[in-house]
Each structure stands twice: as structure tokens, then as C-alpha cells.
């Protein structure tokens, strides 16, 4: 993991420069939700294009609270919500606010690529604990062992990108006990909370009583509404933590585009059924990709959330490492993917490939045909 161009950018550029189908970077090619586009148009024309309040429009902060009340049973106050320029800025503001130079931050691998550079920018020291495939469980014993007197924060990502798995309540409760015992903050990246497919509920650390006052929940309207370019996100935390995060946010971006804040507030107010129907649009692609890959002889790991499936390369008959297979798949097979090893800062797993299903039926059919041919070439 370097601070050069990310694997997502590089794979997308490779796909653009050839005729490869891009199942690498997670962005949808399905039509945008028209209700949100219309809400943005209304906001641009009829509402304000001037600076919003630094912490975000009151209407959006209230809508975020209502949304979490309806979908996750959380009782939140708008004073606990800070609207940011995407989840990335919420992560940056939270880490810069809550990590002091020399603090250790426990990061769970595989991890999203922004975490380590942000921790290092704050002067913090990342310490790594790994999820264990194939179920990608978090070993609480290993987590406890990683805690030292310098540990300040545990950084979680549930639902997890790239694995598509979620931390169960029992694991979060165990983390809560450790956080209380060692006075730690839990920063939880929950951007995939709206894309859960098998009925298992997503649990936020904010829903765990021992973590309620010591957790920061980060999310993104880009993922909830599949509008990744909008870059509207938020951090939600108890008032004392929120205060510190807001103080950092004001000198990172200060505010986030007003019309899109209005549009996201309107979108969140569409209600639970609309949001469930929106997420269900991706269920078809997920089913098609899983079925197509399985029929083509690929072995997949179980996952219940996100826009991704994970191919187990060794179990699918591949002997090379994931990065090599990904390079060959894009150049010889015409399909972009992301090697899961790219989500590690150290000691990577090297036998898994992430493929994205938030695409039209035509895109996925073409991708599956190419992947099937590629696998036959490997074994031929
Ligand atoms: C785990 C995770 N966190 C954060 C982000 C970034 O979200 P945003 O685009 O809102 O900054 C992503 C985007 O893919 C992600 O997968």
C-alpha cells in the first residue's frame, strides 16, 4: 500500500485504455435514482447555492438522525452529526481530531486505502490485526493482544470493503469491553450500511451501549444512493467527540456543497421502503454475478453486503498471486478486478480477487462470459 496512484485509479485507467469490462472500482453504471437528481435540480434552482452552516444544513443533520432511527434504531441528536465532503473527509477529520502524535491506532486488515496515510498524517502509528478468511472473522484475542498503553483508537469497517462481511453484535460487544477497559475510541467506517443483501442486520458500534459515547460512525450518501461522485458524507458521534471533529472539519473543507446537502436530505426522507427498493436493484446483479461465476467454476467466499464478491483463486484453480492474476485478467481476459492484497499494509492475503456487481445486466453478462473463457485458458 503506497501513497502513489491507488489500485482503483490504475485499474480503471487500464480498463478505459483497453476494451476491458471494469469490475474493479466500485461505481455503478445503472441509471441514477431520478428522485435524487430532481431533488438536486430543485435545490440548485430554488434553494441556496451559498455557504451552508459549517456542520451542515440543519435539515440534512435532522434527516440523518431520522434515517438512523428508522433503519438502525439509533436515537441521535442533530448536534451529533457533522456533514463532510464524503466519508473520506469524515475519516480525515475524525483521525486528525482524535489521534495525537505517537498514538497507536489498531487497524483491521484488509482495509480501505485511506486509513493508513491519514493515521500517519496525524502522527499516529498504525498497528494491524487481520480478519481470518474464509469467514473473515475478527479474533478478539488478537485484538486484545494488539492493545498497548499507547493505543488510542480502534478503526473498524463494517460492512467491510473488500470482504463484504459484517461484524456481529457479539464481536462489537467484546470490542466495547476492551474499549471501556482501556479507554479507547472506536472509529467505524460504515459506508456500506445501506447495501446489505441477506437480511442480516448491520449493527453500528453506536448501537452498543458500552460504545455509544466513545464511537464515531462514518458514512456516505455516495454509497447509500449510488451517487459516488456527490461526495456527501458525515461523522456521527457523542457531542464531546463531535465538537473535536467539527473543529478539524472547519479547516479541512469548512463546508460541503449546499445544493447536494439539500438533495441528500430529501433523499433520506424518501423513507425506508424507497431505500430498501433502491438497494434491491443491486441484488439482481449480485445474484447474476454469483451464479455466472459459480457455473464457470469459480469458488466464491460468502459475503452479505457491499457491491463486491470475493473469488478464492486457489480454490478456483489459480496458482499465481492475486496481483498477477488481476494484471493478466485485465490484459488477457478483458475484465478489471481488484486484488485483495491491495487492501493490506503488511502480510497480505494473496489468493483473493474482488469483483464488483453494481453494473447493468449487459455489463455483467459480458464480464461473466469473459471470466469463464479466462478460467478455461488457465486450466487449458
Ligand atoms: C470502506 C470505504 N470507506 C470510505 C469510502 C469513501 O467514501 P466517500 O466516497 O464517501 O469518500 C469508500 C469508498 O469506496 C469505502 O469503500
pLDDT band at residue 2, thresholds of 50, 70 and 90? very low
Any atom of ligand 1 within 6 Å of the Cβ of 24: no
Rounded to the nearest integer, the mean pLDDT of the chain is 95
Q: How far apart are CA 187 and CA 361, in angstroms?
A: 36
Q: Which of 118, 161, 166, 191 to probe ligand 1 with, by most ligand atoms within 8 A of CB? A: 191
Whether the per-residue pLDDT at 132 is higher than 50: the answer is yes
Q: How far apart are CA 43 and CA 49, in angstroms?
A: 8
Any atom of ligand 1 within 6 Å of the Cβ of 191: yes
Average pLDDT for residues 144-148, to the nearest whole number? 98
- In eight-state DSSP terms, residue 305 is B
pLDDT digits (tens, 9 = 90+) for 254-277: 999 999 999 999 999 999 899 999
Q: How far apart are CA 34 and CA 143, in angstroms?
A: 44
Say if CB 345 and CB 128 are below 8 A apart.
Answer: yes
3-state secondary structure of 9: helix
pLDDT band at residue 209, thresholds of 50, 70 and 90? very high
Select from 253, 103, 116, 282 the least CA-distant residue to 192. Answer: 282
Query: Given the DSSP bridges, would you call strands 338-339 and 300-301 parallel, antiparallel or unpaired?
Result: unpaired
Say if CB 353 and CB 313 are below 8 A apart.
Answer: yes
Q: Which of 3-17, 25-39, 136-150 has the lowest mean pLDDT?
A: 3-17
What percent of the chain is modeled with pLDDT above 70?
99
Any atom of ligand 1 within 6 Å of the Cβ of 84: no
Q: How far apart are CA 8 and CA 191, in angstroms?
A: 17
Q: Name the residue at shortest CA distance from atom 12 of ligand 1.
A: 191
Give the atom of ligand 1 at the shortest distance from the alpha carbon of 228.
9
Give the atom of ligand 1 at the shortest distance from the alpha carbon of 223.
10
Domains of the chain with bracketed CATH = 7-28+273-379 (3.90.1150.10), 34-270 (3.40.640.10)
Query: Given the DSSP bridges, would you call strands 125-132 and 137-138 parallel, antiparallel or unpaired?
Result: antiparallel
- Tell me how crowded residue 377 is: count the other CB atoms within 10 A of its CB: 11
Residue spans of beta strands (DSSP E) within 178-253: 185-189, 215-220, 233-237
Strand (E) or helix (H) holding 247: helix 239-249
pTM score = 0.96
List 234's β-bridge partners, or say none.
83, 219
Q: Per-residue DSSP letters for 13-25?
A: HHHHHTT-EE-SS
Taken in order 238, 240, 243, 248, is the CA torsion positive or negative? negative
Say if CB 237 and CB 216 are below 8 A apart.
Answer: yes
List 291's β-bridge partners, or say none.
none
Whether the per-residue pLDDT at 1 is higher than 60: the answer is no
Any atom of ligand 1 within 6 Å of the Cβ of 261: no
Cis? peptide before 134, omega within 30° of 0: yes
Q: How far apart are CA 279 and CA 299, in angstroms?
A: 25
Amino acid at each position: 500500500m503506497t501513497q502513489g496512484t491507488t489500485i482503483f485509479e490504475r485499474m480503471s485507467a487500464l480498463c478505459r485504455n483497453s476494451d476491458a469490462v471494469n469490475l474493479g472500482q466500485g461505481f455503478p453504471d445503472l441509471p441514477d435514482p431520478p428522485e435524487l437528481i430532481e431533488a438536486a435540480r430543485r435545490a440548485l434552482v430554488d434553494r441556496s447555492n451559498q455557504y451552508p452552516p459549517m456542520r451542515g444544513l440543519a435539515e440534512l443533520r435532522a434527516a440523518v438522525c431520522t434515517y438512523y432511527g428508522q433503519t438502525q434504531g439509533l436515537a441521535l441528536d442533530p448536534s451529533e452529526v457533522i456533514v463532510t465532503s464524503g466519508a473520506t473527509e469524515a475519516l480525515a477529520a475524525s483521525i486528525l481530531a482524535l489521534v495525537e502524535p505517537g498514538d497507536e491506532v489498531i487497524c483491521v486488515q484488509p482495509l480501505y486505502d485511506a486509513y493508513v496515510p491519514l493515521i500517519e498524517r496525524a502522527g499516529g502509528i498504525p498497528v494491524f490485526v487481520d480478519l481470518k478468511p474464509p469467514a473473515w472473522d475478527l479474533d478478539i484475542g488478537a485484538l486484545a493482544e494488539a492493545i498497548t498503553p499507547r493505543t488510542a483508537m480502534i478503526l473498524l469497517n463494517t460492512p467491510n470493503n473488500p470482504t463484504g462481511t459484517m461484524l456481529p453484535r457479539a464481536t462489537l460487544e467484546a470490542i466495547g469491553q476492551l474499549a471501556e477497559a482501556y479507554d479507547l475510541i472506536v472509529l467505524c467506517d460504515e459506508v456500506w450500511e445501506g447495501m446489505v443483501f441477506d437480511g442480516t442486520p448491520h449493527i453500528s458500534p453506536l448501537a452498543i451501549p458500552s460504545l455509544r459515547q466513545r464511537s464515531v460512525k462514518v458514512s456516505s450518501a455516495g454509497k447509500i444512493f449510488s451517487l459516488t461522485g456527490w461526495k456527501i458524507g458525515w461523522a456521527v458521534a457523542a457531542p464531546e467527540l463531535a465538537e473535536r471533529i467539527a473543529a478539524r472539519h472547519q479547516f479541512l473543507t469548512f463546508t460541503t456543497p449546499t445544493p447536494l446537502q439539500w438533495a441528500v436530505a430529501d433523499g433520506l426522507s424518501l423513507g425506508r421502503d424507497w431505500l430498501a427498493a433502491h438497494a434491491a436493484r443491486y441484488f439482481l446483479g449480485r445474484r447474476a454475478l454469483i451464479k455466472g461465476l459459480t457455473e464457470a467454476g469459480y469458488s466464491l467466499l460468502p459475503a452479505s453486503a457491499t457491491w463486491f464478491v470475493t473469488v478464492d483463486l486457489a480454490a478456483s484453480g489459480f496458482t499465481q498471486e492475486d496481483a498477477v492474476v488481476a494484471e493478466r485478467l485485465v490484459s488477457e481476459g478483458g475484465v478489471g478486478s481488484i486484488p485483495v492484497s491491495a487492501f493490506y499494509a503488511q502480510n497480505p492475503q494473496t489468493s483473493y480477487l474482488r469483483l464488483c456487481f453494481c453494473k447493468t445486466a449487459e455489463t455483467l453478462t459480458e464480464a461473466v462470459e469473459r471470466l469463464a473463457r479466462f478460467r478455461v485458458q488457465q486450466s487449458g
